[in-house]
Amino acid sequence: MRFDILTLFPEIVTPYVNNGVIGRAQNLKQSIEIGIHNIRDYTNNPHNKVDDTPFGGGAGMILQIEPIYQTLTFIINKYPTTKKHIILTKAGAPIFNQQKAILLSDTYNHIIFICGRYEGVDSRVEQYLTNESLSIGQFVLTGGELPALVMLDAISRHIPDVLGNKESLAEESWTNTDTKEYPHYSRPAVFTPPNPQLVNPDAPDNWEVPEILLSGNHQAIESWRKEQRV
Mean pLDDT score of the chain, rounded to an integer? Answer: 90
> Roughly what angle, to the nearest 10 degrees, separates helices 20-27 and 10-17?
80
Amino acid 46: pLDDT: 87
Amino acid 176: pLDDT: 54
Report the candidate in 29, 33, 34 with the shortest Cα–Cα distance to residue 162.
Answer: 29
The answer as to CATH 3.40.1280.10 being correct for domain 2-166 is: yes
DSSP 120: E
Which residue positions in the chain have pLDDT lower than 50? Answer: none
Q: State how far the Cα of 90 lies from the Cα of 110, in Å rounded to an integer.
A: 20
80 prior amide bond cis, ω within 30: no
- Domain coordinates in residue numbering, the chain: 2-166, 182-229
> Are the C-beta atoms of 185 and 210 separated by less than 8 Å?
yes
Report the candidate in 151, 118, 124, 123 with the shortest Cα–Cα distance to residue 137.
Answer: 151
Amino acid 179: pLDDT: 62
Amino acid 147: pLDDT: 97
Report the candidate in 96, 98, 100 with the shortest Cα–Cα distance to residue 108.
Answer: 100
Q: State how far the Cα of 221 lies from the Cα of 229, in Å rounded to an integer.
A: 12
